[in-house]
């Protein structure tokens, strides 16, 4: 580390700063985010970057295409920890034309930028977040993309743990399932200690995730699988498929994966994050016309459709409750939140139905009220649909701090500031 008191952090694809906020809530004096990049190529306005810069003052805030940041710039940053959420894309690779010069990934895939940053900074730790379907993509070759990622970490000299976490199962206000990936450099003290444990101990008891996010000691319905990744990453890309479960460990190309059962915490319910109704602007309440639209969207339906080549089929969709249960955590929030859409939350309070407000959406993700203020409501909803649950990162931050400070796996109690 740069000194005995702080861990230098590099934040990629920073969005509105959920990773940084979680780490700072874990310990603002330990985690020092020295450089963060957020750039939205398809937008003239950079709302997420502006929000990040407004809420954080220290460090370098980069609003440029990450592919344009030079290797030398990354080398000068020297982070101990890299964090980031990145898009789920096609991670296929191929040999270069000359063959002996190595491999090349698909252009525009941001995971290869993560690889480039790691190659140029050699951090001790990497913490990434993605949608849980990453483990099964693409549908034509299940598990290929994640296997390519694991092989990439293997070839860079890292061991990897992963876990699909539903935030509501560990006490938070949203049923949001995401896969978290923690990689650590082979040869560091933490890896040497982990090396003395078998894979089952790591997944179920002693690993990075198992300590702060406990699970029962037996896999769900016995689902546990071992596999060795092919040495040739192009062979993985072309032919390999595998059923990755919700948790696992990869060391030196050997994989053990299991479907784990979380030991549940009492969740935060929607009722607990709602504003007082006296504070709700009239624009958030549903009109009679909007209520009819939601009744249709959420109701069961069978619709005859025709494909482009003339084939007729029936699209079926089951019904769902017309309003969201205030005694349960919220469903997964999407970027379309706040629009007339089947996935949008609708709550009924005092006999009136309404959308969640942007502040309530911030609360569902664990952000302070008005974190995204100064944006339009539409962009506030969009950014929260893309954001992660901050409290999960707070817990992981405390785990990283204890690993680094004690140089051994140590239990981190979930003293959550909900």
**Active-site pick, 51, 88, 361, 383:** 88
Q: Distance (Å, rounded) from C-alpha 122 to C-alpha 145?
A: 23
Contact indicator for 241, 142 with CB cutoff of 8 Å: yes
Phi and psi dihedrals of 284, rounded to 5? -85, -10
The label of the residue with tokens 């995401």 reads 178
Which residues, 6+ apart, have CB-to-CB distance to 405 below 8 Å?
Answer: none
Note the residue count of the chain: 418
Surface-to-core class of residue 246, CB atoms within 10 Å of its CB (0-12 exposed, 13-18 middle, 19+ buried): buried
Cα four-point dihedral sign 180, 183, 184, 187 = positive
Catalytic (active site) residue 361: no
| Neighbouring C-beta atoms of residue 99, cutoff 10 Å | 8
Nearest CA to 236 among 133, 152, 180, 115?
Answer: 152
- In three-state secondary structure terms, 108 is coil
DSSP 226-290: EEE--S-HHHHHHH------SEEEEETTEEEEE---B-PBPPPPHHHHPPPGGG--GGGBPPHHH
Cα four-point dihedral sign 361, 365, 366, 367 = negative
Q: Distance (Å, rounded) from C-alpha 388 to C-alpha 129?
A: 8
Q: What angle do CA 341, 343, 345 make, to 5 degrees?
A: 95
What are the C-alpha distances in Å from 398 to residues 19, 24, 27, 393, 411?
Answer: 13, 10, 7, 9, 10
Q: Distance (Å, rounded) from C-alpha 133 to C-alpha 144?
A: 12
Catalytic residues: 88
């Amino acid at each position: 580390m740069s000194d005995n008191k702080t861990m230098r952090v590099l934040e990629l694809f920073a969005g509105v700063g959920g990773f940084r906020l979680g780490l700072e809530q874990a310990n603002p004096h330990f985690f020092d985010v020295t450089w963060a990049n957020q750039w939205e190529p398809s937008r003239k306005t950079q709302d997420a970057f502006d929000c990040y810069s407004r809420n954080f003052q220290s460090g370098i805030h980069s609003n440029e295409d990450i592919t344009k940041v030079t290797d030398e710039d990354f080398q000068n940053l020297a982070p101990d920890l890299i964090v980031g959420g990145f898009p789920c894309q096609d991670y296929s690779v191929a040999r270069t034309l000359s063959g002996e010069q190595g491999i090349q990934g698909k252009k525009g895939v941001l995971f290869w930028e993560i690889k480039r940053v790691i190659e140029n900074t050699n951090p001790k730790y990497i913490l990434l977040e993605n949608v849980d379907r990453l483990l099964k993509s693409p549908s034509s070759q299940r598990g290929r993309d994640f296997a390519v990622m694991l092989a990439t970490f293997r070839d860079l000299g890292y061991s990897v743990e992963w876990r699909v976490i539903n935030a509501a199962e560990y006490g938070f206000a949203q049923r949001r399932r995401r896969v978290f990936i923690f990689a650590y450099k082979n040869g560091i003290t933490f890896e040497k200690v982990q090396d003395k444990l078998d894979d089952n101990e790591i997944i179920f008891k002693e690993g990075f995730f198992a300590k702060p996010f406990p699970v029962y000691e037996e896999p769900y319905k016995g689902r546990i699988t071992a596999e060795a990744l092919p040495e040739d990453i192009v062979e993985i890309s072309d032919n390999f498929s595998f059923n990755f479960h919700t948790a696992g460990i990869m060391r030196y190309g050997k994989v053990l994966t299991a479907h784990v059962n979380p030991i549940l915490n009492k969740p935060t319910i929607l009722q607990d994050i709602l504003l007082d109704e006296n504070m709700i602007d009239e624009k958030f309440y549903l009109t009679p016309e909007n209520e009819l639209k939601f009744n249709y969207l959420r109701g069961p339906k069978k619709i005859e459709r025709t494909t482009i080549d003339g084939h007729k089929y029936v699209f079926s969709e089951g019904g769902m409750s017309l309003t969201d249960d205030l005694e349960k955590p919220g469903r997964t929030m999407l970027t379309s939140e706040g629009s007339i859409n089947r996935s949008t939350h609708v709550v009924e309070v005092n006999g009136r139905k309404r959308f969640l407000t942007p502040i309530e959406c911030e609360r569902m993700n664990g952000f302070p009220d008005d974190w995204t203020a100064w944006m339009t409501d539409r962009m506030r909803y969009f950014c929260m649909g893309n954001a992660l649950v901050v409290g999960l990162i707070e817990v992981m931050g405390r785990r990283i701090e204890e690993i680094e400070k004690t140089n051994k796996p140590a239990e981190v109690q979930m003293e959550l500031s909900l």
